[in-house]
Amino acid sequence: MHELPQQLANGLALGALYGLIAIGYTMVYGIVQLINFAHGEIFMIGGFGALTTYTALPSGTSLLVAIPLMIVGGAIASVAVATAAERFAYRPLRGAPRLAPLITAIGLSIALQQLVWQFYPDAKKAVSFPEFQGESFQITESLQIQRADAFVLALAPLCMLALGLFVSKSRSGRAMQATAQDPDTAKLMGINTDRIIVMAFAIGAAFAAVAAVAYGVDKGQINFEMGFILGLKAFTAAVLGGIGNIYGAMIGGVVLGIAESLSIAYIEEIPGMQQLGGGAWSNVWAFVLLIVVLLVRPQGLLGERVADRA
Amino acid sequence: MRHRSLLILTSVLTTGALTLTACGSRDEGKGGGDNAGGTTTVVIGVDAPLTGSLSALGQGIKNSVDLAVKTANKDKVVPGVTFKIEALDDQAVPASGQANATKLVGNKDVLGVVGPLNSGVSQQMQGVFAAANLAQVSPANTNPSLSQGDNWGKGEFKRPFKTYFRTAATDVVQGKFAAQYLFRDAGKKKVFVVDDKQTYGAGLAAIFSAEFKRLGGQVVGTDHVTVKETDFSSTADKVKASGADSVYFGGQYPEGGLLSDQIKKTGAKIPVMGGDGIYDPAFISASAEANDGDLATSIGYPVEKLDTAKKFIADYNAAGYKDPYAAYGGYSYDAGWAIIQAVKAVVDANGGKLPSDARAKVTEALGKVSFDGVTGKVSFDEYGDTTNKQLTVYKVQGGKWIDVKSDTFNQ
């Protein structure tokens, strides 16, 4: 069991990444009850936006300088795509039956993937992404944190804190809560709900871009298909934590990440379970966990809709 | 909550729908042969992953067959016949391969097919081709059961489909060769074995493990990874904790490159070895971390070092294809050329014209072809396997694959 702290750290870093992406699902769902299945692709586009920014920088730029710029570049790309999607794909369908925007989201997700595949140079396969060089941080003898993991572990709480302050303290944040609670009344109170909805999409997209940069510097590569599985996992994290609840998204992500990591390391050590462990089974266990949580606590770990309680 | 059931229902439906879309196929446009003024057109089908993560290999296969066809037309190798290719994309998905096989069978001008890349895809295509008597020559399938039947492991060899041929050596040869190199030449005694659960990867890992243990080595742990996943840090930590001095990976380069990278990041500076599935420049370039010391076996001798391949390389570069010929270019050219030779034999035997049962005749003729190809002598044994059992071990050095040992395998 001496690798337990290490496995927990791996799971935590993976979970923080899921959590960052899950914010986008949960905010949009919390306000317009739409599951934006194109969000995984918004994440992917954030990665390609960041890579484009990096390519545009003079070669030899230190990553310390490059990364903030890459996050900004990635966020510009993903926010632009997300808000355009809201304006042209979802807003016209706002009064339509729920299934219509959902199908649109799926169509949009495929279209975005194909656009990048078709037009981004070399994106037909994995393209390399600048990667953190240097040794990892050795915490104890059996625990080391990779630089990229430290990056995501530091960034995720910061992002969450900023978002929490924004939602609870700022005028726009309160307008957002009001819109989530009752869009019609909010409109009567003089809140521009269209603007609030765009804002929800934009914030989710910016978080996805941060996640994409964290993913890129960790794996050293990105590809046009990466939004699919990660988007699905992040959606799972959002449901697990209680969809609509912004803190739930992060908790859900962390629980999912740790569950995956531990299932790879330990399930096969349980007597009689050798055949059901290892990397091959991690997705099975992650989704078993989701089903169990939904059966026992259908509203998710933290409950739905932070706005109702705020 | 009223929306709860809808939420669950839609997530289930969408998961299904998104999975299905991964099977859609795209037409990359047909690279046709030159019109050499022939009266009869013979189409050589190509099936390979032209898009997706394995497209680097697939495009190399397509271009190399295209080059063979253009050369045959230019030199008028079969008088009165103009060759063309019809290239279909299987995205490395078995169901797409099967649909492509049906499509190729439906085109009566197709007299032979080169492909596919993946053994798992081939399993779904073999039956379709056999029912139509259409010959298939894979430049890259290495799973033994495709040509020797499901019980090859028990020593019962039975050829399941008489239309199946390949220019690639099987994993039995490759896995044993790798184990012998790692144990004897590299001096590694404790290996951790990881595979990707696919027909190719799991088969190769099993053959490797058996041979490594037979030689006296120790398999200190095993794990599996899922294709298209990218986070293998937990597996990497298991490798480190096991105290292994090397890792054998049965699978393809997208997962292999990431796995190697993540193992090295844990601080375990041990080499990862794999089969021809990881022998690709993308194995190195996809991950920025140095893969130096990693090993791969691949079939044949390095194309660049073969005298017979000089003309192929020059012609390929002159043709100006966008993608490199990659790991299977030479074998794909030879596979295409074998079909061209078989068509030639059939046409010659029929007084310069194609017979009405051309497909069956071509299949029969393929079993007898023998010529000096890009990769050496090309001919097939009674199972449709190549008689050419040359192999090479490559090592990553300075961000490039360098060949370190070439040999002809004998049990």
- List, for residues B275-300, the tens digit of each pLDDT value: 999 998 889 876 666 789 999 998 88
pLDDT digits (tens, 9 = 90+) for A102-141: 999 999 999 999 999 889 988 877 888 888 877 788 888 8
pLDDT band at B6 (very low <50, low <70, confident <90, very high): low
The pair phi, psi for residue A86, each rounded to 5°, is -60, -45
Average pLDDT of the residues of chain B? 88
Question: Does position B144 have pLDDT exceeding 70, yes or no?
Answer: yes
Q: Residue B286: CA atoms inside 13 Å, Cβ hemisphere, count?
A: 28
Residue-level pLDDT at B302: 80
Q: Compare CB distances from A136 to B4, B53, B265 and report the shortest one's residue.
A: B265
Q: Provide the mean pLDDT of chain A.
A: 90
Q: For residue A228, list chain B residues with Cβ-Cβ distance below 8 A.
A: 18, 22, 228
Asked whether residue A90 carries a pLDDT value surpassing 70, the answer given is: yes
Residues in A closer than 8 angstroms to B17, CB to CB, are: 106
Residues A219, B230: C-beta atoms closer than 8 Å: yes
Confidence at residue B22, expressed as pLDDT on a 0 to 100 scale: 43
Lowest mean pLDDT among A115-124, B10-19, B99-108: B10-19
Cross-chain Cβ contact B241/A2 below 8 Å: yes
* Residue A105: closest C-alpha in chain B: B14
Please judge whether A126 and B241 are an interchain contact, meaning their C-beta atoms are less than 8 angstroms apart: no
**CB within 8 Å: A225 and B289:** no
- Residue B140 corresponds to which tokens in the numbers above? 């890259």
Average pLDDT over every residue of A187-203: 94
User: Under an 8 A CB cutoff, do A265 and B238 touch?
Assistant: yes
Whether B353 shows a pLDDT value over 80: the answer reads: yes
Q: Given this model, what pLDDT does residue A104 score?
A: 94
Virtual torsion, Cα B58, B64, B65, B67, nearest 10 deg? 150
Q: Which of residues 132-191 of A touch B (CB under 8 A)?
A: 136, 144, 146
The answer to whether the Cβ–Cβ distance between B234 and A235 falls below 8 Å is no
Region A224-248 average pLDDT: 92
User: Which pLDDT score, from 0 to 100, does residue B73 have?
Assistant: 95
Indicate whether A309 pLDDT > 70. Answer: no
Arithmetic mean of pLDDT, B244-256: 95
Beta bridge mates, B295? B273, B395
Residue B35: pLDDT over 60:
no
ipTM, 2 dp: 0.76
Q: How confident is the model at residue A294 (pLDDT cuts 50, 70, 90)?
A: confident
pLDDT (tens digit, 9 = 90+) per residue, B201-249?
998 999 999 999 999 999 999 999 998 888 999 999 999 999 999 999 9
Collapse the DSSP code of B101 into the 3-class scheme (helix H, G, I; strand E, B; otherwise coil) and give the result: helix
Which of B200, B100, B113, B143 has its CA nearest to residue B385? Answer: B143
Residue A55: the pLDDT is 93
pLDDT for the residue numbered B8: 59
Q: What is the pTM of this model?
A: 0.75
Q: Nearest by CB to A261, from B18, B234, B241: name it.
A: B234
Q: Give helix A193-219 / helix A39-56 axis angle, nearest 10°.
A: 60
Contact A167, A30 (CB under 8 A): no
Start-end of H helices in chain A: 4-32, 39-56, 63-85, 99-119, 147-169, 171-181, 183-188, 193-219, 226-241, 246-266, 282-296, 306-309
Q: Does A130 touch chain B (CB under 8 A)?
A: yes
pLDDT for B106 equals 94
- Name the pLDDT band for A283 (thresholds 50, 70, 90): confident
pLDDT of A310 above 80: no
More confident residue, B227 or A2: B227
Instruction: Please judge whether B234 and A264 are an interchain contact, meaning their C-beta atoms are less than 8 angstroms apart.
Output: yes
Q: Which two tokens stand for residue B186?
A: 């590299």
pLDDT at B27: 39
